[in-house]
């Protein structure tokens, strides 16, 4: 009888252990199911959901990244205003592109201007590509030579001949400060084919062999290439754009923008040719757009007024736009 009782107690303990194990397993499975459900709930803020791609394979998956109210496609009122105000003036060229949808406006699209310091961006892109190929590093150093010094823009020319600077510092000063000397040092250490490769990639293969002039629309592909990271890696595209957000020049398109709005841009000035240029990306909240304006004028103040008028109108339209 005692042996039978021991056997029953043993069976009961085994049953309890089995029930306990089963309970733990059920809890684990339940937890796993909860994780599966929550982990794969599409979240527009976190990026493009797999469900959006699978359910609508023929649609642009990037639409998931923007609220519908921010997908501006009707730019006709803005186009009408810019046409009415500037199209008759061949000394003004404008290109606007709303980056989330690609809606664009080109005013005097065939008018071409000397690009001046706007060409520093392709040079910086050539440098970044050389770094990506492993030929250079950002912390490599280059030497300032007497022939590099250019006092037109920037302050690097004041440094003693033989001074040494990192490639990153030279690129930053070339883009942010529009330093001509920094740009010359970089160009001197690049091969021609490394620069032409940039133009070939962005569809401007004939640019360097032409008279050197360019329209606002054609130049804008350079900024779009950086924004889309189509030529450089994401890391280097971000780096160059970041440098462009720290430029101190606010007399042109930047003047009409609220202080809190990030504007990555490059200006160009040629006082001999009376050319003034500004091109960049305005990071309005959820509504980024690209804007390039080129003005030929013997009166710099008049040119500044034109830039500010264009920028104010475009910013107001984009930031206040509501679908009717």
What are the residue boundaries of the structural domains of the chain, listed by start?
2-64, 72-320
Q: What is the mean pLDDT of the chain?
A: 86
pLDDT in tens, the chain (324 residues): 445 454 445 444 554 454 444 444 333 333 333 333 333 233 444 556 677 667 777 777 777 777 888 888 899 999 999 999 998 898 999 999 999 999 999 999 889 999 999 999 999 999 999 999 999 999 999 999 999 999 999 999 999 999 999 999 999 999 999 999 999 999 999 999 999 999 999 888 877 657 888 999 999 999 999 999 999 999 999 999 999 999 999 999 999 999 999 999 999 999 999 999 999 999 998 899 999 999 999 999 999 999 999 999 999 999 998 876
Contact indicator for 86, 107 with CB cutoff of 8 Å: yes
**Inter-residue contact 100 to 70 (CB < 8 Å):** yes
Measured CA to CA in angstroms, residue 46 lies from 23, 49, 286 at distances of 35, 8, 14
- 72-320 CATH choice from 3.40.50.880, 2.60.40.1180, 3.40.50.12780, 3.40.710.10: 3.40.710.10
3-state class (DSSP) for residue 146 = helix
Rounded to 10°, the helix 120-132/216-228 angle is: 30
Calpha distance 270→276 (Å, rounded): 7
Look at the chain and count its residues.
Answer: 324
3-state helix, strand, coil in the chain (%, to 5): 50, 15, 35
Location of structure tokens 């910013």: 315
Q: Which two tokens stand for residue 225?
A: 């290439």
159-190 residue pLDDT tens: 999 999 999 999 999 999 999 999 999 999 99
């Amino acid at each position: 009888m005692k042996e039978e009782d021991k056997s029953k107690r043993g069976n009961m303990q085994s049953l309890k252990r089995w029930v306990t194990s089963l309970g733990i397993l059920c809890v684990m499975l339940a937890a796993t199911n909860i994780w599966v459900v929550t982990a794969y709930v599409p979240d527009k803020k976190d990026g493009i959901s797999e469900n959006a791609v699978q359910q609508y394979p023929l649609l642009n998956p990037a639409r998931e990244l923007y609220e519908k109210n921010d997908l501006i496609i009707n730019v006709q009122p803005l186009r009408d205003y810019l046409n009415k105000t500037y199209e008759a003036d061949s000394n003004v060229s404008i290109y606007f592109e709303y980056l989330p949808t690609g809606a664009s406006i080109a005013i005097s699209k065939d008018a071409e201007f000397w690009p001046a310091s706007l060409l520093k961006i392709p040079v910086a892109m050539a440098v970044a590509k050389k770094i990506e190929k492993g030929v250079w590093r950002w912390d490599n150093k280059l030497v300032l030579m007497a022939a590099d010094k250019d006092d037109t823009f920037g302050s690097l020319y004041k440094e003693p001949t033989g001074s040494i600077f990192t490639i990153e510092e030279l690129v930053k000063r070339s883009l942010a400060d529009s330093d001509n000397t920094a740009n010359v040092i970089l160009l001197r250490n690049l091969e021609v084919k490394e620069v032409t490769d940039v133009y070939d990639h962005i569809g401007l293969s004939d640019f360097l062999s032409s008279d050197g002039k360019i329209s606002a629309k054609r130049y804008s592909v350079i900024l779009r290439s950086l924004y889309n990271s189509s030529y450089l890696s994401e890391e280097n595209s971000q780096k160059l754009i970041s440098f462009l957000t720290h430029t101190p020049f606010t007399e042109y398109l930047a003047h009409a923008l609220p202080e809190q709005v990030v504007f990555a841009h490059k200006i160009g000035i040629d006082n001999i040719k009376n050319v003034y240029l500004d091109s960049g990306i305005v990071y309005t909240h959820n509504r980024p757009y690209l804007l390039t304006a080129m003005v030929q004028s013997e009166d710099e103040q008049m040119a500044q007024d034109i830039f500010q008028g264009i920028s104010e109108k475009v910013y107001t339209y984009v930031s206040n736009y509501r679908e009717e």
